[in-house]
Structure 1
């Protein structure tokens, strides 16, 4: 999965650079497809890959998590 994301990122970025530096009739389409590839394919795949085994409740500000944070701050001050 990591290599697929890297390949798609390089392909999208390469498409953007090619569209920017090569003067042709379809250069704007290359830039557009590169940006669309980044935002609709690469970023969602990357987000899924990084979050797939994590619990969202660990990152939410609940009463229990706030209490844990306060306890950790008190321990560090001592």
Structure 2
């Protein structure tokens, strides 16, 4: 994406394609890998609200 931004500044004809491919790469390859890596150990479970946590919070 930084290459795409540079190409946009220099008004290269293929700049928008390079920027679009960068966004596509980030959204379909990097983000799923990041999400999988963060949630594979189950650390997210402490952030999920269930009935027990809601009752404890109300008391």
Let me know the Cα RMSD of the aligned residues.
Answer: 2.1
User: 4+ runs of 1 displaced by more than 6 Å?
Assistant: none
Structure 1: distance between partners of 2:36 and 2:10: 34
**1:39-66: per-residue Cα shift (whole Å, max 9, x none)?**
1111111111111101554333211121
Structure 1: segments with no counterpart, 5+ residues: 1-12, 72-78
Would you tell me which structure has more helix in proportion to its own residues? 1
Q: Which has the higher contact order (CA 8 A, sep 6+)?
A: 1
With normalisation by structure 2, the TM-score equals 0.69
Structure 2: segments with no counterpart, 5+ residues: none
1:36 partnered with 2:44: no
